[in-house]
Structure 1
Amino acid sequence: MDLQAQTHPYNPGAPAGPESYLLVWDAPNLDMGLGAILGGRPTAAHRPRFDAIGRWLIDLADERTAELGHAVEPEATVFTNVSAAGADAIRPWVEALRNVGFAVFAKPKTDEDSDVDGDMLTHIERRRSEGVLQGVVVASADGQNFQEPLLSLVDDGIPVTVLGFHEHASWAVNSPDVTFVDLEDIPGVFQNPLPRVNLDALPEGGAWLQPFRPLKSLLRNTRD
């Protein structure tokens, strides 16, 4: 996926803001990754706390400010899909995010191709083309679709962090060029520990590893 300059879809023509340490959060992908760890749909008890994530991002921006000698502001946006009948269910969550200080980009979920990866890349590139980008955090369960564009940012001297789950993001965990942070390692993000299974330290009685997607998704791939 190329990271190329495009017309910004959220506020075209808006002037560049202050220098930014940007976090983009892939809500559908992280929900899927979290569901795989939990073995089912995440409940409120196991959903991440965005106030804790916000404080962590502020610390990153402050560190970058100290490094550069001038102000770098934290900026965070959650990217999500909204199904045709899902607006009422998702509205309180969206309002809660905005109250914490996160922007939200919401896109209708019309088919399998209407994900938000391209919108996230467009937002990153807009900040890059404005010359204000001083750091990037991509929050995604695996982040594989962002690998090539993120390495391009590293080549430009922009620090890049991938925020996700180490079980699903081996490319970032093992990359010498990006920093990987496991979401559960951020203080206060989860109220309860996640029921994670480490293949290197399995319990004596064994452990169930749930599928990442329904088996019938194979039928969709065959039709495509």
Structure 2
Amino acid sequence: MTDVHTLIHSYAPGADAGPDSLLLVWDAPNLDMGLGAILGGRPTAAYRPRFDAIGRWLVHRALDMPGEVEPEATVFTNVTPGSADVVRPWVEALRNVGFAVFAKPKADEDSDVDADMITHITRRRDEGVLRGVVVASADGQNFQHLLEELAVDGIPVTVIGFHEHASWAVTAPDITFVDLEDIPGVFREPLPRVNLDQLPDDGAWLQPFRPLSALIKN
């Protein structure tokens, strides 16, 4: 079995550019939101993505690229006040697999990590080491303009997400879309997904994303 920990590399900003890179950026807040929408609530352990499986998938993609290309992966996340003790084991587990983590305080709506992810991708491109980019985000819409630019420049672009939420990436001619559930071993159990194009004859219930009482909360 591939040793993911020894094959996924990360390079700190300000250090040497490093070798040619297949770069994965993981938008944790957006993916959590998309996964919660599919599940109708907070994911349990059975529905938490396995990052060792994602790491192996990335390593094999890098090995299939021409030349010497190193897989590089960073998870971007927000940390809300008072949640550090809960988040710490998850962060340490990610780092143990071989992922870098960019963690940012969640102070308000303007403290999302979207701009930091775009900056990281742009930095790798400007360093001249970017040989491919993979964005993991439920919908990926905040990255659309940059990813389309990279594709025009001849850099292979992949979006990992959920096909229910990322129709623009599914249909984009120059972008490869991979549904997160199609990566082998990512989920312990199949997601309870409802495809409106392939509904069962008896119909299917689609639960609300939030309670009606949320409409009157400030």
TM-score when scaled to structure 2? Answer: 0.90
Match of 2:125 among 82, 105, 128: 128
Following the alignment from structure 1 to structure 2, what is the Cα–Cα distance between the partners of residues 143 and 40?
Answer: 21
Task: Specify the code of the residue in structure 2 equivalent to 1:161.
Answer: T
Corresponding residue SS for 1:196: coil
Match of 2:177 among 177, 180, 186: 180
| 1:76 counterpart residue number | 73
Deviations 1:153-176 (A, max 9, x none): 011110000000000000000110
| 1:6 counterpart residue number | none
Q: CA deviation at 1:218?
A: 6.1
After the TM superposition, list the runs of 4 or more consecutive aligned residues in structure 1 that deviate by more than 3 angstroms: 210-220
Q: How does 1:1-224 map to 2 (within 5 A)?
A: 11-64=12-65, 67=66, 70-212=67-209
Structure 1 spans left out of the alignment, 5+ residues: 1-9
Deviations 1:65-102 (A, max 9, x none): xx3xx210000000000000110001000000000000
- Checking the alignment, whether the CA contact within 8 Å between 1:45 and 1:191 is kept in structure 2 is yes
- Checking the alignment, whether the CA contact within 8 Å between 1:33 and 1:212 is kept in structure 2 is no
Identity in percent: 78
Structure 2 spans left out of the alignment, 5+ residues: 1-10
Q: CA deviation at 1:14?
A: 1.7
The more displaced of 131-140 and 11-20 is: 11-20
Following the alignment from structure 2 to structure 1, what is the Cα–Cα distance between the partners of residues 215 and 135?
Answer: 28
TM-score when scaled to structure 1? Answer: 0.88
Deviations 1:35-71 (A, max 9, x none): 011110011110000000000001111111xx3xx21
Corresponding residue SS for 2:149: helix
Task: Specify the code of the residue in structure 2 equivalent to 1:151.
Answer: E
Following the alignment from structure 1 to structure 2, what is the Cα–Cα distance between the partners of residues 217 and 14?
Answer: 46
Q: CA deviation at 1:212?
A: 4.2
Residues 144 and 211 of structure 1, relative CA distance in 2, 3 Å threshold: farther
Root mean square deviation, CA, Å: 1.8
Residues 157 and 91 of structure 1, relative CA distance in 2, 3 Å threshold: same
Q: CA deviation at 1:217?
A: 6.5
Following the alignment from structure 2 to structure 1, what is the Cα–Cα distance between the partners of residues 49 and 115?
Answer: 24
Corresponding residue SS for 2:104: strand
Task: Specify the code of the residue in structure 2 equivalent to 1:125.
Answer: T
Residues 178 and 218 of structure 1, relative CA distance in 2, 3 Å threshold: farther
Q: CA deviation at 1:113?
A: 1.7
Corresponding residue SS for 1:135: strand
Residues 132 and 178 of structure 1, relative CA distance in 2, 3 Å threshold: same
